[in-house]
Amino acid sequence: MHRGGKPCCRRGGGSGGGALVEPAALAALARQGGHGYDLRREIRELTGGELDVDAGGLYRVLRRLEEDGFVTSAWAEGGSGPQRRDYEITEEGRELAQDWVAHLRERQRMSGLLADALSSALGNDDDRTNKEG
C-alpha cells in the first residue's frame, strides 16, 4: 500500500509499516468527514500521494471504528449514483486521534533510533541523509 519505495524486506502482504489506515482515516475524518470512497482520496491527498490505502480495508476500519463509538455513519439521502454512507468523527474519535498522534511520534522516534543503530552497526559513518521526515 506504500506506492513508491520497493517492497523491501521480504513482505508479501500483511503488516510492515504497522497501523497506518486507522490514523489516516481519522485524519481525513477530522478534517471534514464524508463517505469512504472520498476519504480514501482525501488520504492520498493528505499524504502527497504516498499513502494509498486498500479500499476494502478502509471500509472495514470505518465499520470497526463505528462499532467502538469513534465515528457515526448514515446512508446519505437523495443524490444520484450508488448508495453512500457518510461518516462523522465523534468526540471520542477525536480523543483517539489525539492518542494516535503521540503513538505515531513514538513510532517515528523508534524508527529513527533503529535506523541509526543499524546504520552505525554497519559502519556507515553517520549517513543520516533522510533523517527526520
Binding of its own copies at residue 108 (CB under 8 A)? yes
Work out the angle at residue 56's Cα, subtended by the Cα atoms of residues 84 and 109, and round it to the nearest 5 degrees. 115
Binding mask 19-38 for DNA (x = CB under 7 A): xxxx------------xxxx
Q: Which residue of 3, 20, 55, 88 would you call a contact of its own copies, by CB under 8 A?
A: 20
Q: Which helix (H) or strand (E) holds 87?
A: strand 85-89
CA torsion angle 74 79 82 88 (round to 10)? -30
**Which CA distances in Å does 9 have to 5, 12, 14, 117, 119?**
11, 9, 12, 17, 16
The window from 52-60, 71-79, 80-88, 112-120 that contacts its own copies (CB under 8 A) reads 112-120
The binder of its own copies chosen from 34, 39, 40, 51 (CB under 8 A): 51
- The C-alpha atoms of residue 120 and residue 124 are separated, in whole angstroms, by 5
Q: What are phi and psi of 48, to 5 degrees?
A: 60, 30
27 binds its own copies per the rule CB under 8 A: yes
Select the binding partner of residue 63 from its own copies, DNA, none (C-beta < 5 to 8 A, by kind). Answer: DNA
Distance between CA atoms of 3 and 7, rounded to whole angstroms? 9
Three-class SS state of 88: strand
Q: Does 9 bind DNA (CB under 7 A)?
A: yes
List contacts with its own copies (CB under 8 A): 2, 5-6, 8-11, 15-20, 22-24, 26-28, 30-31, 46-48, 50-51, 68, 94, 96-115, 117-119, 121-122, 124, 129-133
List contacts with DNA (CB under 7 A): 1-2, 9-22, 35-38, 53-57, 59-63, 80-86
